[in-house]
Structure 1
């Protein structure tokens, strides 16, 4: 395929996921696009999705997205980002989709650590409960 072509599709899906554009992401998934394909910056749609959209997380997970692929630069997982931003509903969806909350980023932090640093006590409480 020539320059651009199919290489642009993962970038389009990541951009749509970041905007919370469920319709575009659904269309791309239904067309057979690999939900774990990296965009031009090496990130997948679930890594850059609108964290405040549990519906987006659900759609990507149902489409086969891996919630445990780390960001290539930081080692952050979607659970880290959702915990840091205080999105409990998204964390719940990620957990149902197989996200691990015990994995650490490149600085050695777990999602629980980021939730505590950001003062999201309700999220930290949830992460402690589900982590045993």
Structure 2
């Protein structure tokens, strides 16, 4: 199994130590797993420590899902994880990015009732 599959699995499971270890042993932070996704796309959105490690290692916060056009910021906003939303924005995630339905992250946060995320994104 390629290191990128291990990396995306660790990121999806919120395993910060394993993510760090795999990156140190040569996993490509923006490498694709067998499903064509990067670790930042599949990371556990509630794990800001995983997000921090990936972003610190140069993960692209603006990578879009080829099917939906959603970015990691859309996903974090949709699920309401303000800490992860803040980190992504700090690492240059584009809050004005639109998905295939022309929705921005603030729109999906509104649709899902995450007032704190909406307030933060509207303050930018």
What TM-score results when the alignment is normalised by the length of structure 1? 0.91
1:14 equivalent in alignment to 2:14: no
Alignment correspondent of 2:85: 91
Larger radius of gyration: 1
CA distance in 1, matches of 2:80, 2:106: 11
The C-alpha deviation readout for 1:105-127, integer Å capped at 9, x for no partner, is 11111000000000111111110
Structure 2 unaligned spans of 5+: none
TM-score calculated relative to the size of structure 2 = 0.96
Measured on the aligned residues, the alpha-carbon RMSD in Å equals 0.9
Q: Counterparts in 2 of 1:29-44, with a 5 A limit?
A: 29-44=23-38
Quick one: distance in 2 between partners of 1:118 and 1:93?
Answer: 20
Q: Is the 8 A contact 1:43 1:72 kept in 2?
A: no
Partners of 1:59 and 1:119 lie apart in 2 by 28
4+ runs deviating over 3 angstroms: none
Distance 2:85 2:27 in 1: 24
State how many pairs are aligned. 124
